[in-house]
Amino acid sequence: MGQPITVQRRVQGDMAVFSGDRSLTGQDGARYYAADGVPDNGKLTADLAQRFFDLDPEIDYVYVAYNHVMARRAGGWDEDLLDAADQALKRFFVFYDGADVLGNSLHRTYTSAITGLKTAKRFSRNKTENIQFAAQARNVLDAWAVQNPDATEDDYQAFFDRIIDNSRMNTWSRGWFTRKAEEDRISIRENIEDIQKELAGETRKYNKGDTRIIGGVTYTFDGKVWSD
């Protein structure tokens, strides 16, 4: 896998330019409009443009040339969204180099499924957090795909089911029959964190008496279940 890209940015009105220390195109740049959709052609520039469009529905234009990405967002940019765009470019080659799987149809299908979760605010009701957790979900999907280049459609579906699995809430203080939408969001965010640790080679274990603060509530593990 490649190394992170060092990113510098400048903003003028609705336009933001992100410049990296690695070349993204040859002499010919590529421009994309959200209204037209991004072609499923496996090109690096198309995949990068889609990542920017996925950050926020108000981003309607992306131009990639040399080592620059120019993006337009109606209404301007806030700092959180700029940081998320920085990360989209910074980590692009981390998963792209040598990873042809990131351009295949299965990967694109499940990337779209994660975008669907973001659109439905399944990660968080807060707009900024929702964008950030969606980006994390995209990153774990990319990392998993690189580690599993021969994954089948069933494998992808099983991985996506792990992201949205809410059965963990059955071991918390409220049963599934009283689960609220916010509990589902908490569960999804916890799933992403678990997968991130697994992909990094870390094993997560809890001991009796361990505590965690989730959604502003402190839970304690009694060896079998969590309770508040």
SS3 213: strand
Domain locations in the chain as residue ranges: 1-94, 98-202
Quick one: average pLDDT of 120-127? 89
Residues of the chain above pLDDT 70, percent: 75
Please check the confidence at residue 97 and state whether its pLDDT lies above 50: no
Tally: H helices and E strands in the chain = 7, 8
What CA–CA distance (Å, rounded) separates 186 from 193?
11
Report pLDDT for 168. Answer: 61
Band of pLDDT at residue 23, cut at 50, 70 and 90: confident
Which comes out higher in pLDDT, residue 187 or 17? 17
What CA–CA distance (Å, rounded) separates 76 from 176?
41
**35 Cα distance to chain centroid:** 22
Q: Which two tokens stand for residue 204?
A: 């997560």
Report pLDDT for 74. Answer: 92
Block residue for tokens 């510098």: 8
What is the average pLDDT score of the chain?
Answer: 80
Q: Write out pLDDT tens, residues 34-56.
A: 999 888 776 788 889 998 998 99
Please check the confidence at residue 10 and state whether its pLDDT lies above 60: yes
**CA end-to-end distance (rounded Å), the chain:** 42
SS3 122: coil
Please check the confidence at residue 95 and state whether its pLDDT lies above 70: no
Report pLDDT for 183. Answer: 78
Q: Write out pLDDT tens, residues 149-204.
A: 778 899 999 999 999 987 766 555 544 444 567 778 888 988 888 888 777 654 44
The CATH H-level (homologous superfamily) assignment of domain 1-94 is Scaffold protein Nfu/NifU, N-terminal domain (3.30.1370.70)
